[in-house]
Structure 1
Amino acid sequence: MPGGVGLDIGASKWVLVDQKNPAVQIRGRTADDPIQCLREINAALLDNVGPTVPLGISFPGSLNKEGVVESWPRRPTWVGCQLFEGMPWADPCITLVLDDGICAALGERRRAGEGLDSYLCLTFGTGLGGVAVVDGLPRGSRSGGARTFGHLRVPGVTTPCPCGRQGCLQAVVLGERRDRSTLEELLAGARRGYLSTVVADFVTASGLDGVVLTGGLLGHVPEFADFLLRELTEEFAGTGCDARLSSRPHESALLGSLDLAVAATGGSLDASFDYIRPRRDADRFTERHGRVLQGSVHSCSRRQR
């Protein structure tokens, strides 16, 4: 059976899991110094798994085609870091990186999204991400990430957002405290941003079958998750759309990164979906899948120095 390792790098911590022993998770703190953090991850991988295991990475920042971090509001000191420099994997290892919101959508395809041909996967964490899954394929925005949904603007609202604009949905719903908000703050923000109505209208107007809710915030504040599930179920009444909640919302991106790694070894996620293997296959991948994940998947296959 194909194997691999999944890595979820978050703003506060990172988590590593081996497909051969998924019950064991190795955790560490995400440091301000990216090279220090990547070296710690590298040491954990070498000590616990080995140097030639394909790796799938869920990453919340924006990367360019060379794997350089272009932006990460929660960890600005990472900007300019070449993500692969601190990870000297030996061939035939393949390293694939996906936006964490897209990874979460990938992780829920055969879990909360099971049986839905198409749906919106909403991820609640330090921000609000949204990815449409159509015919089993996560479809990110034209920028290659899942962040755009959280930056839909609420008319007439001037709440400032870290992106520099005003009235972004995630700023209205999550507020300045974001993933540290209280239940009362989250409920007030969701009502102020008409979150359930916006999501339900988006899903029905797009012809999707429903919505899957996930993300670490929903794991930390389950009452907020229950509120959203109840509100969306009411909004969907009579439409045939379904609202679902991940059973492991804090692990969706990690599970998606693991699926990504398994796919890199030749394991099939489904008949029509094969991620880039080494970098030389990027052109073939882009030609085949068009914009589905173009600009979202970053690959690296290199000899250990």
Structure 2
Amino acid sequence: MTALALDIGGTKMTAAIVGDDGRPGEALTVPTPKAEVWKACTDLLDAVAVGADIGRIGIACAGPVDTTEGIVAPINIEEWKDGFAIANAVQEQFPQASTSLATDGGCAALGEHKFGAAQGVDDVLSIVVSTGIGGGLVLGGSIVAGRSGNAGHVGHIVVPGSTTPCACGGLGCVETVSSGPSAVRWAQEQGWTGTTGAELAGAAADGEVVPITALQRAGVALGQAIASAVALVDVNLVVIGGGFAQAGPPLWDPIQESAALHARLKFLGGLEIVPAKLGALGTLTGAAVLAASA
């Protein structure tokens, strides 16, 4: 029987058949709609699975999740933020298949550990910087899920100096400063007229002051969050991926400088913060690993 990988995020959904090597094959991607999200997901899965005998499915989804109940409640998918029973829904579509669910950050960590920037490293924190900020942990060579499946979800670490309300209901989460939409929103409040994270990164590369400052704010906050997280879980490799993480030195330099300033404990010596190697398919690759190992 064939394994299938599914990655659901606030911006897009991607699916692929899992190859014999444990990696996703040719992937199909569709935008995540504002409404009828599951209908769009069903159509995507049908298109990918046509003619295949699907026996195992690995699902990566923006968090929070409840892996015990098979429920996702991503705060950046409005229609599902109160909870969607995705495991049951997938089971109805593929009755013969077993399903495994993890956060997008957890799958990113798993994919980078197996095939990417964390190969050969048993303890790693992965961060996904995109529409939101996700995260995941591999400790001792295995993905760490935690009580409900949300271990490593670093986007809601509170960073110094920020009191911005977060979609989670809290105040000052790093996601309110360092996600793509949050950085864009801050820049717009300062008079910048662009609309996307890619435009913000391009304007910063062109030397525009407000976009540079927006990325610097995002990077400093991420560095602070990283310093807190690595001290808590005792890792010295952090892999950062996601679309907004492609913003280049205006974002990466402040991340490195801020983390170095705050992560001063002796056991954190040699802390490395590196780009993900698997690119846009990193999270899907982790879902594929999840499916292949089910």
What band does the TM-score fall into relative to the shorter chain?
0.7 to 0.9
Aligned equivalents of 1:206, 1:27: Cα separation in 2: 34
1:255 matched residue in structure 2 = 285
Q: In the TM superposition, what whole-angstrom CA distance separates every residue of 1:83-127 from its partner, at most 9, and x where no partner exists?
A: 232552142x22212111111111111221122231221221222
Task: Please report the TM-score for the alignment, with normalisation by the length of structure 2.
Answer: 0.74
Aligned sequence identity (%): 27
Please, which runs of 5 or more residues in structure 1 have no aligned partner? 265-305
Task: Please report the TM-score for the alignment, with normalisation by the length of structure 1.
Answer: 0.72
Aligned equivalents of 1:198, 1:85: Cα separation in 2: 35
Aligned equivalents of 1:140, 1:229: Cα separation in 2: 26
By relative contact order (CA 8 Å, sep 6+), the higher-ranking structure is 1
SS in structure 2 opposite 1:20? Answer: coil
How many aligned positions are there? 257
TM-superposed deviation, 1:62: 3.7
1:196 matched residue in structure 2 = 223
Alignment of 1:275-294 (within 5 A): none
TM-superposed deviation, 1:216: 2.6
Are the structure 2 counterparts of residues 227 and 53 from structure 1 closer, same or farther at C-alpha, using a change threshold of 3 Å? farther
TM-superposed deviation, 1:10: 1.6
Are the structure 2 counterparts of residues 198 and 97 from structure 1 closer, same or farther at C-alpha, using a change threshold of 3 Å? closer
TM-superposed deviation, 1:263: 0.8
Alignment of 1:64-103 (within 5 A): 64=66, 65-69=68-72, 71-78=73-80, 79-83=82-86, 84-85=88-89, 87-91=92-96, 93-103=97-107
Question: Partner amino acid for 1:149?
Answer: V
Please, which runs of 5 or more residues in structure 2 have no aligned partner? 185-195, 202-211
2:253 matched residue in structure 1 = 227
2:205 matched residue in structure 1 = none
SS in structure 2 opposite 1:158? Answer: coil
SS in structure 2 opposite 1:44? Answer: helix
Q: Which has the higher helix share?
A: 2
1:207 matched residue in structure 2 = 234
Aligned equivalents of 1:55, 1:118: Cα separation in 2: 25
Aligned equivalents of 2:154, 2:65: Cα separation in 1: 18
Alignment of 1:105-254 (within 5 A): 105-110=109-114, 111-146=116-151, 148-174=153-179, 176-177=181-182, 180-181=196-197, 182-183=200-201, 184=212, 185-191=214-220, 193=221, 195-200=222-227, 202-204=229-231, 206-219=233-246, 221-223=247-249, 226-227=252-253, 230-231=256-257, 239-254=269-284
Aligned equivalents of 1:20, 1:210: Cα separation in 2: 28
Taking only aligned residues, the RMSD between alpha carbons, in angstroms, comes to 3.0
Question: Partner amino acid for 1:50?
Answer: A
**CA contact under 8 A between 2:223 and 2:256: conserved in structure 1?**
no
Aligned equivalents of 2:233, 2:59: Cα separation in 1: 29
TM-superposed deviation, 1:135: 0.7
Aligned equivalents of 1:56, 1:20: Cα separation in 2: 13
